[in-house]
Chains A and B, each alone.
Chain A
Amino acid sequence: MEMQTVQRKKLRQDVVKKNVFVWSILFYPMLCFAVFYVYVNINSFIMAFQKTDIYGNSVWFGFGNFKTFIKMIVEDGGILRISFKNSIVYYLFNLCLEIPLGLIFSYLLYKKLPGSSVIRGIAMLPQVISALVVTLLFKNFMDNAIPAVMEQIFHKDNFPSLLSNPKYSFGTIIFYSIWTGFSSSLIVYSNAMNGVDPDVMHSAHIDGVDSMWQELFYIILPLIFGTIQTYLLTGFTSILMNAGPLAAFFEAYAPEETYMVGYYYLSRILRGNEHEYNMLAAGGLLMTLVAAPCTWGLKKLLDKFVPEV
């Protein structure tokens, strides 16, 4: 009996210790979640229906902020319209270029073809070097080096900066994003490929897979589809949040032609124009209303299309 009581007491102590351990680990992230997600979102929800006057009083504004936001999207050529268009173009370029290129190059690395370590080294450079340094190097290269080369070697005076001149700026931003994003997809995909069981590959070859294309499309891609699915989903969810490298290059004053929705929000906050916060909150709410079901739908769609090996 006494033995049982002691055992029960010990068990209880263990449970308490376990709970203390678990809660001490969970407390900080939960606090962060409560403050930075729950509170912020509730506050943002309330702000969407208010506006603030010069005395700091917030007053009920109904759907006024929503109307303003929608009007700004609908307005032909308005900055929000440009931002939405650019965000979609930016996503499509990343989707159509970065993912296929990343997969092909990762496969080449996986196959350890000649020169693959050189390619890996070159591709990894932007990841190894500090982002700040890469940004500065790229900016100087575009703003100074290329115009100087064009002038000295090709005698083309006044050659524009491909980054700062608004005519070319957005194209250059897309190029930069694909270039710097390429290395991270190279790491992720090639690691996923390395995780493929060699016995599976061996049996595939016995079953008649005899070219690299067949190996890639029929064996490797289906086996790493979970990783690709994650990439597709995270890419989709970030369409309306992505600011690209605009803030790194231009701080709060990027050329209007390069704006994306994420950067539009960021620049408004950086400029600190309080008048716009309520309208931005309403926009956030509207975008969630659109993006959340779309993301959920895409997830369902991708789940249905998991290829069979």
Chain B
Amino acid sequence: MKKSVALLLAGLTSVTALASCGGKVVNTYDENKTQIYVTIFNGGAGTTWIEKIRDEFNAKETEYEVILDYGKPSAGTIIEEIELDNISADCYFTSSINFQKGIYRDYFEDLSDVLDMEVDGAGNGKVKDKMKNYNNWQAMASKNGEGCYIVPYLDAIMGLVYDHDLFVEKEYLSFATAADEAALSAQGISYEEKTEYGTTYLIYKSATGKTNYAAGDKILTAGKDGKFGTYDDGQPKSEAEFDNMINLIVNGNDQAKSFIYSGMYDHYNNTQAHAIAAQYVGPDMFNNMLAFNTGGQEIEMYDGSYAAVELNEGYKVFQSKGIYEGLRFINKYMNSSSVHPSSMNIGSYSHTDAQNDFILSYKNSTGYPAMLVEGLWWENEAKAMFAEVENAGRGYGQVNYRYMLLPAIEGQKGIDGNGNGTVFTVSDTGGIVVVKQEDAEKLAKIKEFLAMTLTDEVMKNFTKDTGIMRPYDYDMSEEDLSGMSKFARNAWEIYSDEENIELVRFGVTRYAQPIFFTTDMHNTYIPITNNNQISDSYLRVLRNVGGAEAAMGTMSYDSVKWDAFLAEAKRQGFYK
């Protein structure tokens, strides 16, 4: 009896021990090899893609082996671990890029030589040649402009996700009419007319070029890109059309909810304010505004005047019309009573809760949330929930999710200076860092492993597996794309349309600013305050102060604070 009780207890203990490890993989080590510990961010992008590379590396190496660990360490945690001499890995693949403190304190290796490698074979270009916006990145990842201590990892755009088929079925989108016939013919699209309940639709038959319609589909209006059969068909182009769509969603038969987002991380919505601000002033000017210097060019201010802003009065960028428009937009749509009520639970409603409610919303015929504010990673992150609804035909990749483009705002510069185009902000611009090494040979091997993760082939497979892009130029074949989810294909189309879409890599520009990383300037960009307190979330402030107009009068930074920031940055040797 005693024996069986002891056995039972032993069993329970081991189960508890396993459970407390969170099912973490226990690694085995080759005693004859030197271990290279690599921690990989276990978030939306998952980790399976790197396991293949690890196996390949370990198979060819006789003296070194890569051991993978999974976690979610932030830049702050990694730097703290280094300072406490409690570092757990040699190399980190993270979703953070704010390693500046660690870079200036010599905690990380300069990876410039990795960026100079020709990882796709001699003559096929260096890594830095295929990096998106190498100069901006290098400015952010350097020490006083020298070296490059962070290698780009992810490039995840953030936006409004919707179920395209549902939107077509409910007629929330716009359908092509007779007025579009000439443009359709010019694009080589053949169609037939069909009348249902008194409304005439154009039904897709075939096309000479590529479209995303199948025979029998109702043709939608050309979106902001002006082409039929692309990622934005049927979507509203102007704010008035956007309002109309929201009205159909909220006040239609289904009484649906316009948006759902995480209440706990409602600062996701900040990205939409930044995107609107960038659309309004133009992406280049927005990047200037992130650097608190408009480069001698005048910008439209909230009070109707025009002014050029220099660094010594950098706080004035927050009084620009573009900033106001960004705040106004999210306040109008995301603070509305038509938002799903769970999103108001700011203390507890997580991003995964919002994802799950959005996925399961098909079960409700009314009151369902129509759009989810999320990053590109969400579909991959929610795979467990998708598995549960697979039998209903709504599993991973089965639903036609798409990104809804932000509408054009009246008076905006757009991406071309003429009011056209759409901005997406990139939220997760993750970075790869290597902790300072004493053994030069081991460091060379770590860099070799890093190089293996930067080939076109690996990037293609990464995007195929996760639906997430990496900030490098690489092509995806039709075959590659056909293996991806519908949502990932939609995102790839958006990502690849450089003519109509501009990505603002907010963090890359922001973290390059010494006035930001040398002072206690708040992490949140636009310093609107509620009770003198800057919040992580613009929405919370807007909600409490009563809208964008009121919020414009609550900016935390004034000339006194700004002078103090600037003096502190100068004291540390910057801006001299």
Q: Using CB atoms and an 8 Å cutoff, list the residues of chain A in contact with chain B.
A: 53-56, 75-79, 81-82, 139, 143, 147, 157-161, 163-166, 169, 249-250, 253-256, 271-276
Contact = CB atoms under 8 A, between A and B. Distances in A.
A143 B344 contact: no
B461 interface: no
A164 B346 contact: yes
Contacts of B349: 143, 164
Contact of B348 (A56, A78, A143, A274): A143
Given A76-B531, A139-B348, 12 more contacts: A54-B101, A55-B105, A55-B572, A78-B533, A79-B532, A82-B533, A159-B341, A166-B540, A249-B348, A253-B347, A273-B523, A275-B519
B531 A82 contact: yes
A164 B266 CA distance: 13
A157 B257 CA distance: 13
Contact of A272 (B80, B104, B105, B519): B80
Contact of A165 (B76, B346, B523, B532): B346
A60 to B, nearest CB: 12
A272 B536 CA distance: 15
Nearest to A143: B348
Contact of B105 (A56, A164, A253): A56
Contacts of B533: 77-79, 82, 256
Contacts of A76: 531-532
Given A256-B533, A275-B520, A250 B100 contact: no
The 9 closest A-B pairs by CB, nearest first: A77-B531, A164-B345, A164-B347, A275-B520, A272-B76, A158-B341, A79-B533, A161-B345, A164-B348
B341 A54 contact: no
B347 A249 contact: yes
Contact of A160 (B264, B344, B530, B572): B344
A255 B74 CA distance: 22
A286 to B, nearest CB: 18
8 contacts: A55-B104, A56-B105, A78-B532, A160-B341, A161-B348, A165-B344, A166-B540, A253-B347
B572 A53 contact: yes
A256 B263 contact: no
Given A161-B348, A165-B345, A166-B346, A78 B531 contact: yes
Interface in B272-302: none
Nearest to A68: B520
B103 to A, nearest CB: 9
A70 to B, nearest CB: 14
B174 interface: no
B400 interface: no
Contacts of B517: 54
A169 B105 CA distance: 41
B150 to A, nearest CB: 16
Interface string B127-151: 0000000000000000000000000
Contacts of B76: 271-274
Given A53-B572, A272-B77, A77 B345 contact: no
